Amino acid sequence: MKLLLTLLLWVNLAGTPDLATIRKLYTGVTKSESNAKEFSEKLSDISNSDDKTLVAYKAASILLDSKFEKKMKNKMDRFKEGAKLLESTIKSEPNNIEIRLIRLSIQENVPPITGYKKNIKEDKKYLTDHYSAQNATLKEYLKDFILQSKSFSEKEKQFVK
């Protein structure tokens, strides 16, 4: 019985991707369709009851997948699905800085026609206001994002250097 329980626990944990891997994949996800597909596959088993940061990355994967849809209706449906999931995740954890970073990274890169650029200033302010309170690993991840972000001016980027 112990062996069965251990095996079930191992299988369950093995199916959930670790955050470090997901972060690493996310940084290169826009470089190619194959990167986007790999990212999406890693997150395919994530459900709304999982860690909210992983759920936010899954929402980002859906938003990114919409870019590769051939039919406009499918593209729009996937985009709306991803945006809705990301917004509900933020609503459930509004103080999660990494989820805010994910939304900011999406919103600064979507076309204006989507109408999904409304939280850039809010998320940018949240990142700058709460950056110093993060652990070293998350600070480094935030810093890497901020330094390449189009939303931050050169002067604003100085606070992370």
The whole-number pLDDT of residue 8 equals 42
Q: Which amino acid is present at 133? A: A
Residue 90 lies in a domain: yes
Flag whether 10 is in a domain: no
Residues 6+ apart with CB under 8 A from 23: 141
Of 94, 95, 113, 104, the C-alpha closest to 150 is: 104
> Over the stretch 73-113, which tens digit does the pLDDT of each residue have?
999 999 999 999 999 999 999 999 999 999 999 999 999 98
Give the pLDDT score at 89.
Answer: 98
The torsion angles phi and psi of 44, rounded to 5 degrees, stand at -60, -30
Instruction: Record the pTM.
Output: 0.88
Amino acid at 101: L
Domain that holds residue 61: 18-160
Q: Nearest to residue 141, comparing CAs of 63, 67, 57?
A: 57
Residue 7 within a domain: no
Which tokens go with 81?
């699905």
Flag residues of the chain having pLDDT under 70. 1-15
Closest CA relative to residue 79, chosen from 42, 53, 103, 114 = 114
Predicted local distance difference test score (pLDDT) of residue 15: 60
- Is residue 105 in a domain? yes
Distances (CA, A) of 155 to 47, 137, 151, 158: 39, 23, 12, 6
Looking at the 3D structure of the chain, how many domains does it have?
A: 1
